Amino acid sequence: MNLSTRTTKNFAILVLSIGFSCTTLAQTKPAVVDPNKAPIAAAGIDEVYQLVDAVVTKVDSKTRTVTLKDKDGTVTNFVAGPEIKNFPQIKVGDRLTVTHELAVVIELLKVNNQGIRSEVQTTSQTSAPLGSKPASVISNTTTIIATVIGIDRQKLTISVKGPKGKPDIYRIKNAALLKDIAVNDEVKIVLYDAMAASFTAPAPAAAQKK
């Protein structure tokens, strides 16, 4: 599964897990945000994209409908399913954000796998405890066994051929990882990425503004 497909899948799971259809939200144009202000604490994060940023303008408890308004003024209504136990915690003024954090290579090691390439992905999901505002995080760790076909030590990138037979290029944040790596080496590459969706209350100062 490539990054684009995995991102779309995780986005759908996340937004549905906090109770809403993602049809309209998925049309939001991603915006790059400051990694230091991202909601997920993960070492090695290089790029952070904000997929959704909207404010709750109305909550109908009887129909479990939430009205959201994004920065462009687009208003969308969503109905929360009965599986969402934290619906009562959603209030007018709350902010819904969906953020995707993409990591560079966090581990790069030589291996002797006799030319056998592979890719294994593990996914974990956590949700907010009962009584908190709805929130969920999906994180992926992908381990790839591949053959090095190119190295750019100035740009800190490595090109490899994985199990699908096509070349992939990965960025290396720590130059030391490339120290003992050469073309034709078999390597193990570990990548990490995560996506978070959450409702958060406005800051006290913001809540006082009319």
Question: What residues does each domain of the chain span?
Answer: 3-208
Torsion of CA 175, 42, 24, 30, to 10 degrees: -30
Mean pLDDT over each residue of the chain, to the nearest integer: 78
Integer Cα distance of 152 and 43 in angstroms: 23
Eight-class DSSP state of 30: P
* pTM for the full predicted model: 0.64
pLDDT digits (tens, 9 = 90+) for 65-92: 999 999 899 998 888 877 677 889 999 9
Task: Compute the radius of gyration of the chain from its Cα atoms.
Answer: 20
Q: 86: phi > 0 → left, psi -120 to 50 → alpha, else beta; which?
A: alpha
Q: Distances from the Cα of 20 to the Cαs of 23, 59, 172, in angstroms?
A: 9, 13, 36
Ordered per-residue pLDDT tens for the chain, 210 residues: 445 555 555 555 555 555 554 444 544 445 554 544 444 333 344 677 888 899 999 999 999 999 999 989 999 888 887 767 788 999 999 999 888 887 667 788 899 888 888 999 898 888 888 889 888 888 888 899 999 999 999 998 999 999 988 899 988 878 888 989 999 999 999 888 888 888 999 887 654 554
Coil/strand/helix, residue 185: coil
